[in-house]
Chain A
Amino acid sequence: MQDKDEKINQWLEGNLPEEELLKLVPEEEVIAYKQILNEVDQWIPDNDFKPLDIEEIIGSKKTITKKISWKNNHRNLFAIAASVLILLTAALWIYNSQKFTTFETPIGQNKEILLPDGQSKMILASGSTVSWNKDDWSGSKRVLSLQGKGFFSVERGGKFIVNSKKGNVEVLGTQFEVSDITNEFRVSCYEGKVMAITNNDQQLILNAGEEGRFIKDKWSEKSSTTNKTAPWLSTQSTFSNVPLLEVLNTLEKVYDLNILSEGIEVNRKFSGVIPNDNQEVAFSLVFDVFDINYKLDNQKLYLSK
């Protein structure tokens, strides 16, 4: 009996071949054992086991270890002070860098970003950067910095401020677009009300459906926009019997162009669908129809007969 148990143990530990075991234990019994073992071997208490949080433990007691070494070794006082200082600096640096969040989009790709208030969203246009400091998102205000272009959908709450190179835009809750590319600073308001202040303190208040352009140190006349959202957000623009001028305005916004035309009849009507993500196709669709020559140079589009 004792011997049998021992053999079973050796077999369990993988130190005894099954044939040897079968000399002592009836086959039926071995089969029953194997059935049990095969089943149990497939088990696990919890497939979604997440490791225990070790940082919580380690963080609970840093200071105590410090105290002990302090008492034991006065000579090392300076070294300890220095290392504590380095540790603190590193911690502060890590802490600070954790507070800053930055998103960048590559050329040709938009990115939807949920802002730290958990409700407001933005869509960062291609080739743009947005960043914020978590501390600037406490209750009463929400601040972020934008380089390039972005569309914002802001939920009501504290003051929402977009800082950009040429100026700031302030809102409460609304949908709007800020574009600070090349020499133009443009703000389009699609919902609610926004206030734009440029770096030289020129203010402009925009209501829904209005947009303002800041060119050469001053705001030009407000223009109206019929778009419900920034045109570059949709993949195509649809026109139905609209003046060429409007089509050109849309192209300017979608592809961030400055269109300079010479001798073009801009009141001719255009109908059609043009892509918002393929500049060449869009140009050829519009300009070939009207037999207009075009030349692109550094985001400036020259049109001629």
Chain B
Amino acid sequence: MSKELTVCEERIFRELHAEVNLKLCNFLYYKFGDLEKSRDFAQEAFLRLWDNCQKVLLTKAKSYLYTVASRLFLDDLAHQKVKLKFQYRSNNKEANYESNPEFLYRQKEFKERLENALSTLNENQRTIFLMSRIDKMKNKEIAATLEISIKTVEKHVANSLKLLKNNLDELKNTKI
């Protein structure tokens, strides 16, 4: 009998958990915009994976986590409008170099406008774009995790960028 590796193996499960837990929480946040619930549902997804470890192939474990967590969120949420807020990474050096108040103000304004623009993107565009930029996931990795084609990922990332730019341009024009 060939013994296929499954996530039932505690060591493998731990490795998977260590690799994915932050990314999964972030993913849920990009998608639904609620930090606390993101944690809860990510945890629940891991719990279900552990419970069903016999039934889930190791190669499918990641996408299983993402799918289950998304569904949990959808079931819970009478879809409200997402309003994303971000923090600057605490190890972010650039932010500390500049203390010119005008620059800081403009940076803050730009950040807010970009956050708003992001929130108007559709769920998939936004989520994939942020997974790529913030979590530094390769397009290939995103495609495998979400079980979509690389082409789709590429399309979403590029489209998001263009839409964000247009959205910001529009704001600029209406302002003047």
Contact = CB atoms under 8 A, between A and B. Distances in A.
Interface of A: 5-6, 8-9, 12-13, 29, 32-33, 35-37, 39-47, 49, 51-54, 56-58, 60-61, 65, 68
B88 interface: yes
Give chain B's interface residue range (CB within 8 Å of chain A): 35 or more
B50 A41 contact: no
B39 A9 contact: no
Nearest to A33: B161
Given A8-B158, A32-B165, A49 B22 contact: yes
Contact of B165 (A36, A47, A51, A52): A36
Contacts of A33: 161, 165
A37 B90 contact: no
Interface of B: 8, 10, 13-14, 17-18, 21-22, 25-26, 29-30, 35, 38-39, 42-43, 46-47, 50-51, 54, 86-90, 92, 94-95, 110-111, 114, 129-130, 132-134, 138-139, 154-155, 157-158, 161-162, 164-165, 168-169
Q: Is the interface of B mostly helix, strand, loop or mixed?
A: helix
26 contacts: A8-B158, A9-B154, A33-B165, A35-B110, A36-B161, A36-B168, A39-B111, A40-B130, A40-B134, A43-B89, A44-B88, A44-B134, A46-B29, A46-B35, A46-B87, A47-B89, A49-B25, A52-B21, A54-B17, A56-B43, A57-B50, A58-B14, A58-B50, A60-B51, A61-B50, A68-B54
Given A54-B14, A58-B10, 9 more contacts: A36-B161, A40-B114, A43-B86, A45-B25, A51-B21, A51-B22, A54-B21, A58-B14, A61-B51
A69 to B, nearest CB: 10
Contact of B95 (A29, A36, A42, A58): A42
A275 B46 CA distance: 60
A61 B158 CA distance: 43
A39 B147 CA distance: 28
Give the one of B46, B134, B158 with max A CB within 10 A: B158
Contacts, number: 109
Contacts of B89: 42-44, 47
Contact of B161 (A6, A8, A51, A68): A8
B87 A45 contact: yes
B168 A32 contact: yes
Give the one of A37, A52, A57 with max B CB within 10 A: A52
A9 B158 contact: yes
